[in-house]
Amino acid sequence: MRVSLPGLYIALGVVLAGLIHVVAVLTLPMLAPRDAHARLAALGPANTMIQLPAAAPGQQVMPMMAPDVRYAVCRYDLSNGPVRLRAEIADELWLVAFYTPLGENYYAVIGADMKQPVIDLIIATKDQTVAEVGVDAPEAFDNVVVVSSPVVEGIALIRAPLAGPSRGAEAERALKATYCGPHKSSSPDPSGP
């Protein structure tokens, strides 16, 4: 059968356009070369806390960064085990947000909601068990929150919104004291008995 009806081509065109639209929308997040994870990976290794330079003209790690927020980031990689994140909350405005490489904010700790000014977290995948920590350090474990990461590689981002003018240096000092690194559950605590 010979196809010569223009209507058929229009119908085919619409169906094709729809398919291409769907494929483009679904694949674009994976293909975006300058997504946040790629930008942060250029700053340094995984599993360390890296302070981002204060946003200034021509000096922005990510577009549309807030000029009155100071940031510290830990690009975590859980393939060698869970990762520990500790931060002393200098200000109740602080926010600690956890992201997948695609920028999905899957979990957030809000400074104002904390009962105590210290954040102590273990980031682990669903398969990784951190239960033995409780045996090793029972007195500390009560305050430790386990964040179940849906991804092996992700991002933890601390935001320190400035509570006023010329508070930048203070926020940067407080961010410097935050920690991110591998969580060694089996090795004994050197400071312990």
Contacts with other proteins by CB under 8 A lie at 2-4, 6, 9-10, 12-21, 23-26, 28-30, 32, 34-36, 38-39, 55-58, 60, 62-64, 66-69, 92-93, 95, 97, 99-100, 102-106, 108, 110, 112, 150, 155, 157, 159, 161-165
20 versus 118: smaller Cβ distance to other proteins: 20
84 versus 99: smaller Cβ distance to other proteins: 99
Q: Measured from the CB of residue 162, what is the shortest distance to other proteins in angstroms?
A: 7
Q: Measured from the CB of residue 181, what is the shortest distance to other proteins in angstroms?
A: 21
Tell me the one-letter amino acid at 123: I
108 versus 140: smaller Cβ distance to other proteins: 108
Largest CA distance in the chain: 87
Q: How far apart are CA 92 and CA 90, in angstroms?
A: 7
* Among the listed residues 182, 136, 167, the one whose alpha carbon sits nearest the alpha carbon of residue 67: 167
Q: How far apart are CA 170 and CA 147, in angstroms?
A: 28
Q: CA–CA distance from 165 to each of 154, 169, 189 (Å)?
A: 32, 10, 41
